[in-house]
Amino acid sequence: MAPFEPATKGSGQEEGTDLRPRFDAAGLITAIAQDGETGEILMLAHMNAEALRLTLETGKAHYYSRSRQQIWLKGETSGNVQLVQSVLVDCDQDAVLIKVTMSGDRVACHTGRVTCFYRRVQRHADGGYSLAMDWRE
Amino acid sequence: MAPFEPATKGSGQEEGTDLRPRFDAAGLITAIAQDGETGEILMLAHMNAEALRLTLETGKAHYYSRSRQQIWLKGETSGNVQLVQSVLVDCDQDAVLIKVTMSGDRVACHTGRVTCFYRRVQRHADGGYSLAMDWRE
């Protein structure tokens, strides 16, 4: 049984009260994880329908690994589970925003940092770019 | 001339100081726009190399429309330009986080709302879902 209603064309998708996730050709939707307390963006990942359903039903963020081609419970091995505060969809429902409380070490990135977004782009006078650490080690 | 260095395997991608955006098979990278003052997530969109370069060079967010297959300067018609405060990359550099100050009406969504994420998923006792407006109209 398909767990969600299919996406539609028109205003129902954007203004309606039906959850109709618009999965892409690979069956995935983009998910942004945000710390519900600090507002910090933690990571960007993907969910298939089953990962989204598990996230909504268990209250723990589940994602779909495109490289491993399987669903994973975030924090299953590290202990850094993301407890879901709320799930929001965007206008055309092809992205979800998960506001979470982190448990464990409160680390979202596999590199051991709180967030995956720890480097800031710098532009140089010669037109080149580099990255600067934007994170309190 | 390719404006960016190619993505690499290994730790250089995650720990290095080289900007090496990892564009997908369609030549796109995912971009999250966040209000630099409030921390609110405004929208999720995509950039190709040229849109990313224009964003970094002009300080105004440019995206790539997959439906129209062209680059657009956000706010070009609406006046709601997103002025870039900073651009961050995630660990494997396949996503960018753009912290912005909005000009004009301070509206990011084409529906006229501040953010595209204006509906929250509700789960009902019978296992069904619906969406509730999560936005101050």
Complex ipTM: 0.94
The H-or-E segment that residue B101 falls in is: strand B95-102
**CATH code 3.40.50.800 for A28-105+116-133:** no
Per-residue pLDDT of A61-117, as tens digits, reads 999 999 999 999 999 999 999 999 999 999 999 999 999 999 988 899 999 999 999
Task: Give the model's pLDDT for residue B1.
Answer: 45
| Whether the predicted pLDDT of B130 surpasses 60 | yes
Residue with tokens 């720890």: A118
Distances in whole angstroms, Cα of residue A134 to Cα of each of A39, A125, A131: 16, 20, 9
> Does the pLDDT at position A137 exceed 80?
no
Distances (CA, A) of B100 to A8, A12, B55, B111: 31, 30, 11, 19
Kindly tell me if the per-residue pLDDT of B121 is higher than 80.
yes
Q: Cβ contact (<8 Å) for B111 and A86?
A: no
Helices and strands in chain A: count of H runs, count of E runs:
2, 8
- Which residues fall within 8 angstroms of residue B33, CB to CB, at 6 or more apart? B41, B42, B43, B44, B45, B61, B74, B82, B98, B100, B108
The CATH architecture that domain B11-133 belongs to is Roll (3.10)
SS3 A98: strand
Task: Give A94-110 pLDDT, tens digit per residue.
Answer: 999 999 999 988 899 99
Q: What is the dihedral of CA A17, A43, A61, A86, to 10 degrees?
A: -40
Which residue does chain A place closest to B34, by CA atoms?
A41
Taking a C-beta distance cutoff of 8 angstroms, is the pair B110, B24 a contact?
Answer: no
Q: How do strand A95-102 and strand A29-35 relate by DSSP bridges?
A: parallel
Q: Which of A55, A87, A124 to mutate to test the interface with B (most CBs of B within 10 A)?
A: A87
Give the A:B interface size as CB pairs under 8 Å. Answer: 110
CB nearest A119 (choices: B89, B129, B132): B89
Q: Are A80 and A102 in contact (CB under 8 A)?
A: yes
At residue A4, what are phi and psi to the nearest 5 degrees? -130, 155
Residue A32: closest C-alpha in chain B: B32
Q: What whole-number distance in Å separates Cα of residue B31 and Cα of residue B88?
A: 10
pLDDT at A136 over 90: no
Q: What is the mean pLDDT of residues A120-126?
A: 94
pLDDT band at A3 (very low <50, low <70, confident <90, very high): confident
B7: left (phi over 0), alpha (psi -120 to 50) or beta: beta
| pLDDT digit string, tens, across residues A9-52 | 888 899 999 999 999 999 999 999 999 999 999 999 999 999 99
pLDDT value at A1 more than 50: no
Question: Is B123's pLDDT higher than 90?
Answer: yes
Query: What is the reported pLDDT for B110?
Result: 93
Nearest CA in chain B to A19: B130
- pLDDT tens, residue by residue, B67-112: 999 999 999 999 999 999 999 999 999 999 999 999 988 899 999 9
Q: pLDDT at position B105, please?
A: 87
Cα gap A34→B33, rounded to integer Å: 13
Q: Does B52 have pLDDT greater than 70?
A: yes
